[in-house]
Amino acid sequence: MESPTGSVSALKTLRWHVDAGADEAIGDAPVNRFAIAEPTAEKKPETNAARPAPTPAPQKQPDVVKLESAEETTASAQAMATACNTLEELRAALNAFDQCPLKATAQNLVFGDGNPQADLMIIGEAPGADEDRQGLPFVGVSGQLLDRMLGAIMQDRENSYITNILPWRPPGNRKPTPFETSLCLPFLLRHIELVEPKALMLLGGTAASTLLETTTGITKLRGTWMNLDLKGTKIPCLPTYHPAYLLRQPAQKRDAWRDLLSMRKQLHDMGAKS
């Protein structure tokens, strides 16, 4: 190990001190103990007189920090989402919502993209790095594949609307936690209510399990029409594979194509706008 007195960087010097156990500062400024002469004090004779016990200094009581429970935080999110009557208000509410830890690590809020008057609403999992930089969903490589998939059934961002379960990117594109999805769910459900789609396409297991409240895997769910009961209104939902998964497993594109054809038929039968 290099000596801290040698010609090394400040970071290596700091690491040397930490490895040596000097990991806590006890003064406002460093002191060179080698440059200070030790004072020579006369040794006082010991006496048998009892010395008074020192009065202990009063201890400062630690500050009490009140932490909201998960239920209280979710209730706060629910109240904020319910109060929104337009998509603009919902976006502003998410921008003002500071209780989701993902917001602190993300660059941008990724709200939605496409036509908010569309009959088809597409819901993915969470933004990736490209989406986080641009503030728009599905703009990276998986978004390019999604555009081609939609084009195959005569859909695009002019007649579809796209969003995610989470509006903020999880660090390192990790899988969202149950707390994160439950915290963002009230905003997503209000998002769906305001768009009023005739059909939902759920991309990937996280989107399907969160909205349909199921633990069944996406390989068994995909291609099966289900309903999202939203305050008495039943919205047909079609789970399918996420484009990012299809990029890793191109052999599954055959099943995804079947799902796209099923969605096209559903929109046609419902008289959806093209």
The model's pLDDT over 114-151, given as tens digits with 9 standing for 90+, comes to 999 999 999 999 999 999 999 999 999 999 999 999 99
Q: Does position 166 have pLDDT exceeding 90, yes or no? A: yes
Domain boundaries, the chain: 73-269
- Please list, in sequence order, all residues whose beta carbon lies within 8 angstroms of the beta carbon of residue 224, skipping any fewer than 6 positions away: 238, 239
Contact 176, 170 (CB under 8 A): yes
CB 188 within 8 A of CB 226: no
Token pair for 223: 């291609």
Q: How far apart are CA 7 and CA 10, in angstroms?
A: 9
- Give the mean model confidence (pLDDT) for residues 192-221: 97
Kindly list the distances between the CA atom of residue 184 and the CA atoms of 69, 125, 130, 176, in Å, as whole numbers in the listed order. 15, 12, 21, 11
- CATH superfamily of the 73-269 domain: Uracil-DNA glycosylase-like domain (3.40.470.10)
**pLDDT class for 27, splitting at 50, 70, 90?**
low
Weakest mean pLDDT among 33-42, 103-112, 114-123, 159-168: 33-42
Q: What tokens were used for 260?
A: 């796209």
Cβ atoms 197, 87 nearer than 8 A: no
The Cα 260–Cα 181 span in angstroms is 26
Q: What percentage of the chain exceeds 90 in pLDDT?
A: 71
Percent of the chain with pLDDT over 70: 76
